[in-house]
Amino acid sequence: MQLGEGLRALGFETLPAHGNFIAFKTSRAKDIFDRLIERGIIIRPLDQYQLHDFLRVSVGRPEENQAFLAALADIVASFKQETAARQAA
């Protein structure tokens, strides 16, 4: 699975890519950034460009892209679990 396709499959909007990175939109940019850093996966926030809801990921080798997408899918699932737990409380 390609990186952009994987991001869209997880429900993220992506910007058109014109280089070796993809920017994607999320309302939880800081949370995702922090959790990926905890896992040793480095991406870049785009706050400096006034795109506070966007993160940028570099296109890597297929196994790196898959590791990123798997970690991101796990983080998205944990957000859903946290939301469900708060609603049940």
pLDDT score of 4: 94
State how far the Cα of 24 lies from the Cα of 27, in Å rounded to an integer: 10
Ramachandran assignment for 11, one of left (phi > 0), alpha (psi -120 to 50 degrees), beta (any other): left
Contacts (Cβ under 8 Å, ≥6 apart) of 72? 7, 10, 32, 36
pLDDT score of 83: 84
pLDDT score of 76: 95
Q: Pick from 76, 19, 14, 8: which is nearest to 84 by CA?
A: 76
pLDDT score of 56: 97
Residue 45: both structure tokens together: 């926030």
